[in-house]
Amino acid sequence: TNTTPAYKRILLKLSGEALMGDDSYGINRGVIERIVAEIGEVVALGVQVAIVIGGGNIFRGVAPAAAGMDRATADYMGMLATVMNAMALQDAMKHQGLECRVQSALNLEQVAEPFIRGKALRYLEEGTVVIFGAGTGNPFFTTDTAAALRGVEMSADVVIKATKVDGIYTADPKKDPSATRYEKLSFDEAIAKNLKVMDATALTLCRDQNLPIIVFSIFKLGALKRVVMGEGEGTLVHL
């Protein structure tokens, strides 16, 4: 079998829900430790890892906005939630001996470094994992779009989106047992079919910059490594 990773530099998008495990809220210690162990395996292969973390396990901006809160305010709260997740992830990485830095798109100088592209690139080249918190730093965006943006800025070879499902299906496999998984899909198909892989802003940015996306399940043991080894895990979205 092949022993060389298919990608030199990846941008891993972890949703807030990925950190929750089976809990209904917050961060599950066991889950985060397992995810960090899987990231560690990929780092050990010599792959440079940048991470964008979501915040949905703590706060999502849309629901409070719908309930009457100012949308931009709710979105800033959502961005702060992603910084909490970034700090928890960094802490777990330290415990497992992984070098890791957090950079925030919002200025929180006592808590995290600011996002500085050149510095982030240098960390990656040194083999340090970089976690990008606070999304894009702008309300009305999502951490999926932040993943696409940072992926492009870091010249990542691929955006790897961790979800609960092992790829993109023709329909929701939980509701429709006849749904099948796509091995590959074009950006235009993903956008046209509104498959809810990633929001359209993220998809179009990746399409326009020719940055492929792989959607895979973070709950499948060893799947991240198989994605990085190019073993056909998940669904590839490409030009």
Question: Are 137 and 79 a contacting pair, CB within 8 Å?
Answer: yes
204 lies in the binding site for ligand UDP (CB under 6 A)? no
Task: Tell which positions 36-95 bind ligand UDP, by CB under 6 A.
Answer: 54-56, 60-62, 74-75, 78-79, 81-82
Q: Would you say 102 or 229 has its CB closer to ligand UDP?
A: 102
Q: Are 32 and 162 in contact (CB under 8 A)?
A: no
151 binds ligand UDP (CB under 6 A): no
**Structure tokens given for 35:** 């995810």
Query: Which residues face 114 on adjacent strands?
Result: 104
Shortest distance in whole angstroms from residue 124 CB to ligand UDP: 21
Instruction: Select 63 or 239, whichever has its Cβ closest to ligand UDP.
Output: 63
Hey, CA dihedral for 149, 154, 159, 161, is it positive or negative?
negative
CB of 63 to ligand UDP, least distance (A): 8
Q: For residue 142, give the nearest of 157, 161, 165 by alpha carbon.
A: 161
CA-to-CA distance for 173 and 42, rounded, in angstroms? 29
Where b means 16+ CB within 10 Å and e means fewer, 9-32 reads: bbbbbbbbbbbbbeeeeebbeebb
- How many residues at the interface with ligand UDP, by CB under 6 A? 24
> Would you say 12 or 43 has its CB closer to ligand UDP?
12
Comparing CB distances to ligand UDP, the nearer of 103 and 136 is: 136
Known binding residues: 13-16, 55-56, 60, 75, 136-143, 163, 169, 172
Which residue ranges make up the site for ligand UDP (CB under 6 A)?
15-17, 54-56, 60-62, 74-75, 78-79, 81-82, 135-136, 138-139, 141-144, 146
